[in-house]
Structure 1
Amino acid sequence: MSGIGEIDRIVGAALDEDAPWGDLTSETLIPVHATATAELVARESGVLSGIEVFAAAFRIVDPSIVVERLAGDGDPFAPGDALARMHGPARGILTAERVALNLVQRMSGIATLTARYVAAVAGTRARIVDTRKTTPGLRSLERQAVRDGGGRNHRRSLSDAVMAKDNHLAVLTADGQDLATALRTARERMPHTAHLEVEVDRLDQVDAVLAGGADTIMLDNFGLDDLRAGVARIAGRAVVEASGGVSLDIVGAIAATGVDVISVGALTHSARALDLGLDVVISTVPAAGTRGQP
């Protein structure tokens, strides 16, 4: 799970964007002492992710709002299920509503899509992992959503591993450098704890990459026959990752080739936000001139 500090930073920035000078509608229409009870309700089936993020939006707007979590991250749900219940000042609930929903809908959409990919490769050795194709500023939350859906995370950032992709190799070999030698030189410069991954787009690159000491070899946009040939050629000397053009229709067949990892950019860049709603179920507006009771 993302840390509370990071959640508060992301959610706080989203609230500042949505209500930079306050919630004009709630402040002019809703009595200051009005209270409400509302529920987060599923309109479709899915896998929940982001319940702490959802709760944080209400806590940051008004710490007196009480959020009862009725389901947890990673839990499946069906249409009509109540996933959380909020009670407290109506103004605060209405102010936090959209940001809270935007984030939990986005995260639950990613978790739900990830769960479908994971189910499609069940019984194989392949792990489903995400990529850096995330929404700027939301990477931590989207990576958590992948985990909540049963997937795994790839490197978090450019700082986490050495990952030589096609454009890196093009620069390296432009002046005639030998690929294996260039990779061995890179390994000598790496911290001893770092991981070296190299992307290839042709089978004839595999031997040089193995000679260069790659820990993982990514077979990018390979057909099924070439994936099988790549797995056989690598023969356990490196982790084999398949990437590029992965869809739900073909991911099972990709997994059956024997690859260890399947990276899927669609988990984060193409996931549809799930239809979750916030329904006010009880509201109390005190009579004019009275404070009312929550």
Structure 2
Amino acid sequence: MISQDQFNKELELIIANAIREDVGDGDHSSLACIPKNAHGKAKLLVKDEGVIAGVEFAKRVFNYVDNDLNVETLIEDGNRVKYGDVVFYVEGSSQSILKTERLVLNAMQRMSAIATKTKQFVDLLEGTGTKILDTRKTTPGIRALEKWAVKIGGGENHRFALYDMIMLKDNHIDFAGGITKAINKTKQYLKDTNRDLRIIVEARDLNEIEEILQSEGIYRILIDNFNYEDTRKAVALIGDQCLTESSGGINEKTIRKYAECGVNYISSGALTHSVYNMDLSLKAV
């Protein structure tokens, strides 16, 4: 997994690029009619319900644009909100508040939607011991925000990207000439490059699981697109040799049944690619 320093750098890049994209050589709407020394205050207003996420990110945005902006937080990340709630107040330069408005809203609306969906999945898994994972099916350029939102919603992060974990999926296996060859080549690669990365291997059927289990040092087996019966058989086969993960179109209606098969993790791309943004507004007060 990536370090906190790496994660912070990702956030810095996201903010810098978003401000470049949105502001360019100046917020001319504000510059045209708002005096430079004008002082203002605004509130983050909830017009929806769910789990709020992105408060801490908003603070980073405010600080990046103008470190004299002051934020009074009323509701922290991870708390449930309802229509009419005020999450925070921001006060300072009116021009600075307006410059940050769209980035703060875009990020918080998206992050809150992801956190809300993740919490829904977490609640469905309650009592099973199975944990929900995100995937790399994220919006290009803002993966750090979306994975942060999953954590806020109570889920866990899978690998961040291609560089922090080995994941041998069907195409890797087929291109490498089979499961055992793919695993052996991977182990040799890690040795040759002096890298310490966990290895996950995808299985398409029970025979592939049996073959994977012949190799040592596998961190987790991805039980992909199995039905309930075969998932239970796979979990029994694997035992305590490594961790287990189910994936493949698992949704709100099926997630509990897969968890009851005994898997350690369930991964879902829907956490980040199939959500509707929470309705939020930044209003002057």
What residue number does 1:194 align with? 197
Contact 2:43 2:90 in 1 (8 A): yes
What residue number does 1:284 align with? none
What residue number does 2:184 align with? 184
Instruction: Confirm or deny that 1:97 pairs with 2:101.
Output: yes
4+ residue runs of structure 1 moved beyond 6 angstroms? none
CA distance in 2, matches of 1:134, 1:36: 35
Contact 1:101 1:276 in 2 (8 A): yes
Instruction: Confirm or deny that 1:228 pairs with 2:220.
Output: no
Q: Which has the larger radius of gyration?
A: 1
Task: Read off the aligned partner of 2:258 and give its amino acid letter.
Answer: I
1:76–1:204 distance in 2 versus 1, CA, 3 Å: same
For 1:162-200, what per-residue CA distance to the aligned partner results, in whole angstroms no more than 9, with x for missing partners?
211000111122xxx5x3354234324325732111101
Q: Which of 152, 165, 168 is residue 164 of structure 1 equivalent to?
A: 168
Q: How many residues align?
A: 277
Deviation at 1:212, TM superposition (A): 2.2
> Which 5+ residue runs of structure 1 have no aligned equivalent?
282-294
Q: Which of 88, 104, 112 is residue 108 of structure 1 equivalent to?
A: 112
Instruction: Report the TM-score when normalising by structure 2.
Output: 0.91
Task: Read off the aligned partner of 1:74 and give its amino acid letter.
Answer: G
1:77-92 to 2 correspondences below 5 Å? 77-92=81-96
Q: Which of 124, 130, 134 is residue 134 of structure 2 equivalent to?
A: 130
Deviation at 1:31, TM superposition (A): 2.6
Percent of paired sites with the same residue: 38
Q: Which of 48, 53, 62 is residue 49 of structure 1 equivalent to?
A: 53
Instruction: Confirm or deny that 1:208 pairs with 2:214.
Output: no
1:161–1:8 distance in 2 versus 1, CA, 3 Å: closer
Q: Secondary structure at the match of 1:241?
A: strand
Deviation at 1:147, TM superposition (A): 0.6
Task: Read off the aligned partner of 2:210 and give its amino acid letter.
Answer: D
What residue number does 1:288 align with? none
Q: Which of 22, 27, 49 is residue 23 of structure 1 equivalent to?
A: 27
Q: Which of 66, 70, 82 is residue 66 of structure 1 equivalent to?
A: 70
> Which 5+ residue runs of structure 2 have no aligned equivalent?
none
CA distance in 2, matches of 1:277, 1:193: 45
Deviation at 1:273, TM superposition (A): 1.4
What residue number does 2:253 align with? 249
Contact 1:182 1:212 in 2 (8 A): no
Task: Read off the aligned partner of 1:207 and give its amino acid letter.
Answer: E
